[in-house]
Structure 1
């Protein structure tokens, strides 16, 4: 038969248990097991103590975070990360309010929307989405044009320049065509900015045997997949002003080539957590089988 009474703990015991959670790198569950108490009780004490100090209670790591840490061969929890950030005075990046900088060409007739907010693709090289990001430097703006493959979310083409003329997006498209394995008739989707509705861009798409697609002006939802990359980019490398364009260019290159395409994990409904480059390889192997 089970116990007929509820075990009670002194306030001193609770404070010591909470201090142990704060001072160790162990989870609440692990500390509770060592003390011989229920994890629910210890978690409740901890939450109330944090609330009294105006702090956030600990949360469990997400499956994506756990997966990435396992891949790196590291065991770490949120409390340790929070403590190290406090000790080193590290703070998270605060997003700026986004302003739409799309400049439509009133005289141009935009292409039809072939995506329709369906940001999925059955295989690589069939659907790309693109956008331009403006990075501030002491020398002036650095403009980044890029193309993402919707099947893998890999940045397959990009270009940077001190201008945003049509050749900027054309150069990015040429890179995507050269390294992205684009199929004939691949959909190239963007907003209705003047760069994308230019005759030069339309001519290049025709030359490459691709199909152009445009969302509505001022509707970020029509190109949400491309804009999500902009948000992630500024979260990871910050929203500061770089000393010059060369420094900003180098940081963007490193972010795309060493982190985003090859290290950042994204959950795929079939393959699980993979980087964009791994997703491309897995899809190619599946199609070849």
Structure 2
């Protein structure tokens, strides 16, 4: 076939073929299976029965129709419930390593999230313990926070007294060119600045790791799993709290036309729909801004 190639797959009498023209400028006339095909430049034709072309990559037409979304009122509105993801403790860690691990290799596609945990001994003579300026934590050379006593956030938890526990939750990127090829997670350095000694590098300390969120392990996105925890309701539901699972139950709108969920107010997250006697939607988001409504 010259600059063209055919890839054929056969199994139990069935046959599927892919015809490729690698010439970027010229059409290719090819013979395949006693039939003739005209392949556009730099394209692939798909033949699910090794005879008829159902798709060619160079013949994809541009969309001419404009999709229109019409809001559908939900009878009774949405009554949201929330469950705050718990910060992982050291005793819940899966394994320990010296130094920082690359996130994708550590999680092995089990979850988008990985907890990094370490502890640091703090001398009782540190100036900040007697009212001095609080230390500052830098992660990947970027300012993360000023470490006030008993400061807690879903991203970094740090409690400074005679010891300090540093808990960092890292998530995978989901935007950007070729982001699937990027190294992810806390790659270092991780430094604690503002101690009497100046800057302390935590990069090669002993780190504990935990893959995933508790809500993932409990399958909170399922009908059965969502009933295993107590959900906050009413005024207790925080609208902008990061690392929170949100749930609502609603009656499916009438008709059989496709429905679209507007996820524009979500940060990093995912949404599920599960159908029981009614439609139950469980959605969660992990971001600095949390989930809007």
Decide: shared fold, TM above 0.5: no
Normalising by structure 1, what TM-score? 0.21
Which structure: larger Rg? 2
Query: Which of the pair is proportionally richer in helix?
Result: 1
Query: Which of the pair is proportionally richer in strand?
Result: 2
Normalising by structure 2, what TM-score? 0.20
